[in-house]
Each structure stands twice: as C-alpha cells, then as structure tokens.
Structure 1
C-alpha cells in the first residue's frame, strides 16, 4: 500500500502550534532483543519488556494522537480495540487492520512503500548490507523478500522469529532525532553514534523517494561533513560533524535553536547554520552549549515549551549565578568555577553575534519578542525545583514534553513533583486512560482543551531515556497567531 495524500503539507513554525501531522515509530521486535551487555552500545540505559511498553504504554500514545489529529479513524472503535486482543493490530504497521493515517504517520509504513520500487529496494538493501557487513548471498535473499517483510527485517534486524542477521535499531522510536521540519524545509540529521547509522540511511531513502514528500524534495537539507574531514585527526565530539533532532527546536518562523551537547557537535551546528542561512530557511539561530553529559544528552532533556509564555526546564542549568550568598566564599568560588554553566550565542544573518547570560533569558526573549507574548514569561521547574527530585525527574524526562497544542502537553506519570509544579501554575492534570474514555463518550472535545498536562504510563518507556518530545517528528503545525 502506497501511503499518499494530495493534501499533505510540510510546515512547522513553532513548538506549540496545533499539531496536525507527525512521524512516529511504534516499538518493534528489535527492542525485545536488546541484551544487557549491549544496551549502552545501543544507547539504552536498561532492557525493556516489549509487550508492556507496547500495550500498556505506547499504544496509549498512538490512540491519543489519533483522537487529536485523525479522530475519524479511531472514534467509536476504542472499546472494541481494547476488548479484542486481535484488534490491537490497529497499531501494527504490517497488519491489514493498521490505521494507515496520513497524519499520525508510521516510519515503517513509509519504508514498506519505498521498497515496492525494485530499483530502490536493490540500492537500499545493498547500502544496509554494506554498513552491516552482510555477505552477498544474504543480500540477494533480502532483495527478493517482499517489501512488507523486508521493512520489518531492516528495522528489527531479525530474519525471522529465531534468527537475527544484524543489530536492532531500538532508537528509531525517537523519531525526532533523525530529521527536523523547519518551516517547509526538512533538515536530515547526522547522529553521533554508530548505533544510529542505519536509521539515518533509511530516513534518507524515505524522504527522497516517498511520494508523500515529492513536492518538498528540493527542500531536503543534508548536513555535510567538514571539508577533508577524513584527513583530520581525532574522534573527539568537537571534531566530528554530528547533529541530532533533540538538539533542534523550531521556536518561531524565523528563529531556530540548536544545542551543542553530548550528541551534537559545534561542527554540526556550524554546518547547519551555513545550510540554513544559504537557503534562507531562517534568519536567526541561537546556539545553546550544554555540558557533554549523559544526564542531559540533548537540549530537549533540559527544556521544552509548554505555552507561548511558559517553558518547563531544569533550573540548575537555566539560571544565572546571582543566587550565590556573598557571605559564603566557598560557595561563591564553587559557582564561579561551575563547568556546567551553559553558553549561549545567537547568530543573525549579516549581523554580529549576540550572547545571553542564561537559558531563562533566551527563552524569555523568544516568548516576549519572537512570539509577542503579552504576559511575562513563566517557568515550570523539574521536580518543582526541589533537590533531589529536580535531578531525579529530569533523568526520567520531566522536561521532555510534547505540546500537542498550545498548553496541552504529554509527559510521564512518574514525575510527581513536576506534576505538582504544573498544578501550581493552574494546569489540569489527567491520566491518558481517563482522557480517552472522555473523548469516546463525548464528555470532552480534544480541540477545546486548554492548560492540561496529560499523564502517560512510563515504567518501560522511561528506561529508553527519552520522552514524547523525542518520540515525535512534527511535520505540520498550525501557525501561532
């Protein structure tokens, strides 16, 4: 089945406009094959229980997205889907009952579509086999495999139930990291770790070959390596050209934030800026350099936007040092030597760079100047800014929220102190299971919701070290007026 939509548009101008289309990947069998000895190599902190992750956690995410973005495909079906185990295939892209939404778009479905073309199938299989060091006979066997089955094999690494032929790519559930829509352009990223090389390859083939993106083919940007990179010494993060989507935020039509982190290098940010300015994609790019620590990984583990004038963030990384008590010299000098203090510089085409003292200053400037907020910028702090809960809950993605519309955000149910902070700012808080029943019974309209934190089950998903901001690649949002 070729997924196509003559009305499809690519256009993202903010982090908070009404979400209309996005790209996701539901947990596949490869996640159930991750072993403890390889978990960190494959960028997971722990092994997960696949069926719990799917049925008790991620399925809620897909259902919720469908009610907001494509309600005709789920309204009236919820009870039958939940009651009949066989109908859970509604969420599996290789099943005949799959929802096949053109608004909640599954990466595996797009891969199946491009593999229908014999020439593309041969080239993609050859490329996958080259990076995975497969033998030639296996390559020929894969070329002759039907597209639906082949897509599953390429993603999961499993030839069948019992035989694996290469490693899984469990991080594909974090679809944001492999590409970012910036206005009507698509920036394809360069992941830092070898474990994500196959993801990058698949996404290139999808965006350049799938009919859904045909009208935007000339708007696809690829991050190049630095000139003669193969002659440059060292493998340090600063030397390599890397950029991942968790470090890129489209905050207004003319303004992009790029983080330099454990996963995105200064070189990657530099190449991205050159590309974006050369193609007149944006006029302003702010670089936020955070410590290269696994604690943070990307800037969207430190802050994400909730409303035009409101952000959720980790306060210890976001403020200036004016809170230090001058009567305590040991504390004063410790703060002055703080290597964790972020560095922020903003570039405008044709103008001198501008610096910001702290992340809060940058975010306030975005809200008040770029988005013309008439209200003072407010912040919701991870763990309600209480030690040790601020650090504990940031680790389990209290700051990594997806705005499905302005003021309506998805977050994990385990971050209790952060939930308290949302309530103190006047937010309603509701569990996703209760919310879906209200939608189904017409007790609540998704489009009329305001200032709500939707709590998503997270015992297994949180082990993967990413929240719903990571698990979404927005393709279309309404403009923020």
Structure 2
C-alpha cells in the first residue's frame, strides 16, 4: 500500500516548483488500439508500444524522479536503464517498482484500493455494468489478485491477449481525470464514452485511497443539469462535460476554464458555481475556443512557462495588422484564417463579467496583476509564428508544456521551429538523455536550473495527441515565491 504520512495536496500555480503529481505509464492497452477503433478511443493513430515505453516515456519518469524524488533514482541510473526493457522500474507488478509518493503511478493506487474486499466487489460490479459483462466474468474478476485486476481494468485484457473489453488508452493523459485547485480536487466529467471507465476508476481512487483521506470533503464532482435524463437523444449540445485539460490554476485565487470540443458551456457553468460556493477561488475566466479536434483543450493552444512568459498558438491570438498585406476583412473584424475566441472573467459576488479582447490580453493580465510580474509579458509562438509550422507544431503539442519549476519546461524534440523561438527568447535547450546523465554525474542540479527547455523524444508519444502538460496531474506545487 502506497503511503506517506506527510502527504499534502496544494496547487495554486502552473509554474511553481512541482513537488508531486499523478501519472500513468503506458500500459499494454495502448498496444491494442486498432485502426478501426482508434478515433472512437480518441487516438489519431496507432502507436508502437515498446518504442513509446523504452525510448520516450521512460525518460519522462526518470526525469520526474530526479526532480521530485531523487532518492528513488540518484546513483541508480545504470541499474534502471538495464531494467527498462521489462518495465521493472515503472509498473507496480514488478518487485523493483519505484513506488514513489511524489511521482505517483495511478495503477498502483488502483491496485491498493482493490485489496479491500468491499471496494473490490463494488468497483468490479460498476465496471461490469458499464462494460456489459456477464455474471460469471464478474465473479472471476472479483477473485483476481489486486495488481492483476488493476491491469485488467486499465488494459481491458486478461493475460496478454484475451481482451474482455476495450482498453482505456487515454489514461496516460492524467491531467484530464481531474485537477487539484489549492487543496480541492475537481473531478472531470468526460465528453466521450471512451473515458467513462477511467473516470469511474479515478473517482474510486480519490474517495477510497488512504493518501486522500484527509481531502475527501474537498472533492468536487460536477453534476448533470436538472432533469438531464429528459433530453432527447444521447449526445445533445446541452450535455454537461468538463475535462482537466481545460482547467488551469494560474494563481491561488484564479482559475481559467476552457469551453472547447471536450468541455461544454454547461460544464464550465457548474464548475464556476461550485468553485465559488466552496470558496476555492474568487475569480474564474472562461476562454471559449473553436470546437475543433485541432485544439481539443485550452492547454493545446497555450501553457505557461514563467510568470511573465507563455507559449501559445499565434493564429488564435491578437496580432498587429500589417497595412501592406492587409485585406478589408482584417480591419473589419473577420481576421482571415483566424478562429474566433471569446473570453469572459467572472468574480465571486460580481454580476457582470469582464471581457478580454484576446488571449494575450488575458495572459498579460494574469502575469502582471495575479502574479505581480514587473517585466513585460513575453509570448513564444508555436512554430515561431511562421506558417505552416505554427499549425503543424501545435498539432504535435508545441504549446502543451509542463513546468517542473519556473522557467524549466518539458516539450517535444520534433517541434524545431518552436525550439528556435525558445532559443531566441534566451532559453537553454537540452535533450533529456544528456540532462539525465549530467544530473547523475553531478554536472547539473535540478534545484538550480533556470530558463531551460528540456527536449523529450516524441516519435510515438506525439501520435497519441498529447504533450507533457496532458500527461501530468500536479497534486502539489510550491507557490511562486518559494
């Protein structure tokens, strides 16, 4: 059982020093996605699982441990590398699993709660109801050892090849399962049926795992609208949905929520009411973006790098009009080739929202007024703001970066024009394999790194359509002044 007597929840920033997070390392279910079901399961492509694990995601786990829980890896890099081929260090079904309480594997938490007979029976019954399993299979699952049962619930397979229901490959995008806001947990309400089982599993984890026992009263669940069961059809526009990729905790008092392909206006509305009623924050800004697969969540079009620096997609931004190349529509409000964005900021107790003309205006306000930045706000644009690289690199998550500490962020190595833009803004750039070796040899110190973009290999991970912001659910971050 994973336990930590000093376990705490607390996130009031996107870029404060990261101290603990939830992740899910790629499981065998990702290797069972088939072309005919890929889009139903919210994948754009099928991935090569071994390459994703050994050459890409494993670097991510090692880096997180060096920054968040160095005792689990420092002085052991060669040993860990030698075990990587059999996932010994990264999965709870192996005796050498790292069992970190800072870099927390969701599969481990699931196995922990399944060791409780009562919880196991309830969760098996719930999963079997969702998946339409027969009674005999339900009994067989109840009798399965917890670690193996956790694997089955996630991968959809008993053993290596006997698939009994669909995998849930999107669990690697742990940001979407929920979001920690100060000391509260906001659980998602997914837009797609493919994510129903992962939401069920996570709900059971948060309400039943001993790690979260002190925070059970701080768990916020988004309700459906009143009499939702009377709506005609199954997928009407009025559906209440909210996913973690559309929620950013930019300051202790301020949350940004995106209305996107995955988060509905109704979902944002319910979240605002609950956050204000529970006094979690006193300011919520809603950013309405086009409902397009290109964007999906707001964290695919902008994320924060430092208190005064953001990376974003320029085609959704405010840019000066060039009089020499402008057309009449550029001046009349129909910006050629640009999608419409609307921004409304609500404050507790205020009747009317404040409006912002652009994403840049909003983010500049966050930097200056919420975070107290005294320097001009900088924007690093996807693809260095050059067509067609801006759109190409946004598609492979150039704007979806995870900050380990202020100014130290992870991104994909394939987004070369965006990397060039970081260099032009004074950032050092280093490949993750080189950094791991330097930290192991005491040539680099995670606690003193500044203004650095760490490049992660991305041949297979990028096929899944999500960057490292998506692949992380921070549960503890220091404030920007620590």
Indicate if the aligned counterparts of 1:19 and 1:476 stay in contact, CA closer than 8 A. Answer: yes
What is the match of residue 462 of structure 1? 462
- Over 3 Å counting, the alpha-carbon distance change for 1:201 and 1:85 in structure 2 is closer
SS in 1 for 2:111: helix
- Over 3 Å counting, the alpha-carbon distance change for 1:237 and 1:430 in structure 2 is farther
Task: Give, in angstroms, the shift of residue 368 of structure 1.
Answer: 0.2
Question: Given the alignment of the two structures, is residue 183 of structure 1 paired with residue 196 of structure 2, yes or no?
Answer: no
Question: Given the alignment of the two structures, is residue 117 of structure 1 paired with residue 116 of structure 2, yes or no?
Answer: yes
Q: How does 1:55-454 map to 2 (within 5 A)?
A: 55-84=54-83, 88-233=87-232, 235=234, 238-319=237-318, 322-323=321-322, 328-329=327-328, 331-332=330-331, 335=334, 340-351=339-350, 352-454=352-454
What is the match of residue 8 of structure 1? 7
- Over 3 Å counting, the alpha-carbon distance change for 1:76 and 1:408 in structure 2 is same
What is the match of residue 23 of structure 2? 24
SS in 2 for 1:93: coil
Task: Give, in angstroms, the shift of residue 338 of structure 1.
Answer: 7.0
Partners of 2:9 and 2:236 in 1: CA distance: 32
SS in 2 for 1:153: helix
Partners of 1:237 and 1:418 in 2: CA distance: 38
Partners of 2:376 and 2:472 in 1: CA distance: 29
SS in 2 for 1:410: strand
SS in 2 for 1:22: strand
Task: Give, in angstroms, the shift of residue 234 of structure 1.
Answer: 5.0
Indicate if the aligned counterparts of 1:81 and 1:87 stay in contact, CA closer than 8 A. Answer: no
Indicate if the aligned counterparts of 2:48 and 2:460 stay in contact, CA closer than 8 A. Answer: yes
Give ranges in structure 1 of 5+ residues lacking alignment: none
Indicate if the aligned counterparts of 2:114 and 2:120 stay in contact, CA closer than 8 A. Answer: yes
Task: Give, in angstroms, the shift of residue 26 of structure 1.
Answer: 0.2
Task: Give, in angstroms, the shift of residue 471 of structure 1.
Answer: 0.1
Partners of 1:290 and 1:426 in 2: CA distance: 30
Indicate if the aligned counterparts of 1:314 and 1:394 stay in contact, CA closer than 8 A. Answer: yes
Indicate if the aligned counterparts of 1:80 and 1:87 stay in contact, CA closer than 8 A. Answer: no
Task: Output one character per residue of 1:86-144: Cα deviation in whole Å (capped at 9) or x when no partner.
Answer: 67411122111000000000000000000010000000000000000000100000001
Task: Give, in angstroms, the shift of residue 222 of structure 1.
Answer: 0.3
SS in 1 for 2:299: helix
Indicate if the aligned counterparts of 1:67 and 1:446 stay in contact, CA closer than 8 A. Answer: yes
Partners of 1:324 and 1:166 in 2: CA distance: 58
Task: Give, in angstroms, the shift of residue 322 of structure 1.
Answer: 4.6
Task: Output one character per residue of 1:50-107: Cα deviation in whole Å (capped at 9) or x when no partner.
Answer: 0000000000000000000000110011012223556741112211100000000000
Indicate if the aligned counterparts of 1:290 and 1:341 stay in contact, CA closer than 8 A. Answer: yes
Task: Output one character per residue of 1:187-212: Cα deviation in whole Å (capped at 9) or x when no partner.
Answer: 00101000000000000000000000
Partners of 1:23 and 1:135 in 2: CA distance: 32
Give ranges in structure 2 of 5+ residues lacking alignment: none
Q: How does 1:45-64 map to 2 (within 5 A)?
A: 45-64=44-63
Indicate if the aligned counterparts of 1:191 and 1:242 stay in contact, CA closer than 8 A. Answer: yes
What is the match of residue 39 of structure 2? 40
Task: Give, in angstroms, the shift of residue 329 of structure 1.
Answer: 2.3
Partners of 2:38 and 2:116 in 1: CA distance: 34
Indicate if the aligned counterparts of 2:401 and 2:469 stay in contact, CA closer than 8 A. Answer: yes
Partners of 1:331 and 1:112 in 2: CA distance: 56
- Where in structure 1 do 4 or more consecutive aligned residues deviate above 4 Å? 84-88, 234-237, 320-327, 330-334, 336-339
Aligned length: 480
Indicate if the aligned counterparts of 1:65 and 1:104 stay in contact, CA closer than 8 A. Answer: yes
- Over 3 Å counting, the alpha-carbon distance change for 1:125 and 1:325 in structure 2 is farther
Indicate if the aligned counterparts of 2:321 and 2:330 stay in contact, CA closer than 8 A. Answer: no
Partners of 2:84 and 2:304 in 1: CA distance: 37
- Over 3 Å counting, the alpha-carbon distance change for 1:347 and 1:334 in structure 2 is closer
Partners of 1:237 and 1:18 in 2: CA distance: 41
- Over 3 Å counting, the alpha-carbon distance change for 1:282 and 1:330 in structure 2 is closer
Indicate if the aligned counterparts of 1:291 and 1:342 stay in contact, CA closer than 8 A. Answer: yes
Indicate if the aligned counterparts of 1:26 and 1:173 stay in contact, CA closer than 8 A. Answer: yes
